[in-house]
A and B are shown apart, each in its own frame.
Chain A
Amino acid sequence: MIEITARKRLADFHLDVEINLPGEPVAVFGPSGAGKSTLLNIVAGLLRPDSGRISIDGEVLFDSAAGIDTPAERRGFGLVPQEGLLFPHRTVRENLLYGYRRVRGRPRTIELNEVAEVLEIGSLLDRYPATLSGGEAQRVALGRALLASPRLLLFDEPLASVDGRLKWRILPYLKLAISHFNLPALYVSHDPTEVTSIASHIAVLHGGRIVAAGPYREIIDLPEVYGIFTREGVNNVLAGTVDANLPEYGYSVVSVGEATFKVALVDAPPGAEIGLAIRANEIIISRGQPGKISTRNVLRGRVAGFANVGSLILVHVDIGCELIVELTHGAATELLLAEGTEIWVLIKSNAFQIHSTLRPA
């Protein structure tokens, strides 16, 4: 159990947070400038808060009241930074072993060959960081943090400077690192898709304060949280299985829970697991069954609940799997939606984002 309280006066606002990590990964979500990096630096011991307390399993690492301030190098918190930050003058192997060689006061639980295998970086060991691609460098940075046998992993927007497709290829390694080595993690990001994939427990940081904490589906209904999410876009992240590929029709069939979707042709064979994402504002709701329509996905379901998030309404629907749909007030009123109402959900097949490796937490 990791307990963190921290207060710090910053240029634009006061950081004032309290976070407990129960042993599962916790994601901290917030827009840029909300204080996320500051928080991580404080936890890591690189920045001193004005006041606060940090303890792990009862061991107090920082307590401003008691005058305790364990230096960063003795906290045993691994940091996976935004830009790798590999030491350019050392080889990959030397980078990886940098923390490994300096483990003190606790046993080494993670070894090089294990990390090399899990993160698939074995072939890079004798190269220099300058010769690595962005994705390779991030994996090495992750490996380096792991090999220091950390008690907690701190992720500082590790995918922020990685572009589009590559992001989703690296994300699984991050998740794997957390689950395989069974480490508590604090994952900070401004990308809601990343955040919902990594952790089921999310803390939303805005203006230096935690405005909401809890599972994704609960916090998304809060207006102050939704406001942050809309800039990045609410995304439904779904775990699916490929049923069939129909190249002559131009689509593949994927089941998610008890729902079946037609999506753009995928590269995976039937039976393969696949990740789908669909934005809440790209789903259409109809009260009655639509007639002949070009949309390939027309699914029947019920309204499971809804929330007023200021200028919009978020409708939770159950069509065999759960989806969140974004509607204007006008539309919701006109359709006379209420809990339990039968509705039809319409989604264009090419509106789905397909990620071979993306899964919800």
Chain B
Amino acid sequence: MLNAAEWAPVFLSFQVAFIATLFIIPPAIAVAWLLSRPRLRGRLLIETLVTAPLVLPPIITGYLLLLLLGRGGLVGGWLHSTLGFDIAFTWIGAAVAAGVLAFPLVVRAVQLSFESVDRRLEGASRTLGASPWDTFFSVTLPLAAPGILAGSLLGFARCLGEFGATIVLAGNIPGQTQTIPLAVYSAINTPGGEQKAMFLLVISIALSIGALVISQLLTRKKRRART
């Protein structure tokens, strides 16, 4: 089947997706909470920015990220010259690309979750002496937790499948940034690479569907628990 080097995309995909999901969860929770409040100034702007990666072609998002984070970019140039640190064409770049693309999905799922928490419970918590932060961590977050978990799994699955932005920002470097989708892309473009492509395809489908199924089960479990 595959040798060690050919398993590399699988492990790399996991690493990239895991790190990316981990890092986008806190900001996604923050943004989702903001958007779940009834009155919000600048809601349109925030919603547009958050939804953009969902609507723009991933390659364009990848290119925008490259312009910003590449060596010639504002942030990337500074990082390279001051810290000797590169984002573009490294696995971190792959994680950034995956994370940015998955972010709107996670925000949406978490936002729905927050909106389903009865606001009056938060009011009750306040009258019992809990500050807004205390209320958030003691009441809102625990009640939204199943939805947050489901959203994270959804984001993870999305990260596993990210291609367009990844290939532009991180490149297709075997062993460093070649995630499963990129490896499949290379394999199908190489004469004689069909078998490798097939195998990676199966793994990829299994992983993504697996994450989705768990995510759905969690959402359903939460729905049943409330009725």
Contacts and interface: CB of A to CB of B under 8 A. Distances in A.
Contact of B128 (A45, A83, A102): A102
A73 B143 contact: no
Contacts, number: 67
Contacts of A77: 127
Given A87-B139, A102-B134, A72 B118 contact: no
Nearest to B123: A46
Contacts of B123: 41, 44, 46, 72, 79, 85
Given A87-B121, A89-B142, A102-B134, A45 B126 contact: yes
A76 B134 CA distance: 16
A73 B126 contact: yes
Contacts of A73: 126-131, 134
A46 B127 contact: yes
Contact of A103 (B120, B129, B132, B143): B129
Among B124, B126, B131, the most chain A Cβ lie within 10 Å of the Cβ of: B124
Interface string A81-118: 10101011100000000110011100000000000000
Nearest to B121: A85
A102 B139 contact: no
Interface string A147-159: 0100000100000
A99 B129 CA distance: 6
Interface string B97-132: 000000000000000000000101101111111111
Interface string A57-81: 0000000000000011111111101
Interface of A: 41, 44-46, 71-79, 81, 83, 85, 87-89, 98-99, 102-104, 144-145, 148, 154
14 contacts: A46-B126, A71-B132, A72-B127, A73-B126, A73-B131, A79-B127, A88-B226, A99-B128, A102-B134, A103-B129, A144-B128, A148-B127, A148-B129, A154-B127
Interface of B: 118, 120-121, 123-132, 134, 138-139, 142-143, 226
3 cross-chain pairs, A with B, having the tightest CB-CB distances, nearest first: A102-B129, A99-B128, A72-B126
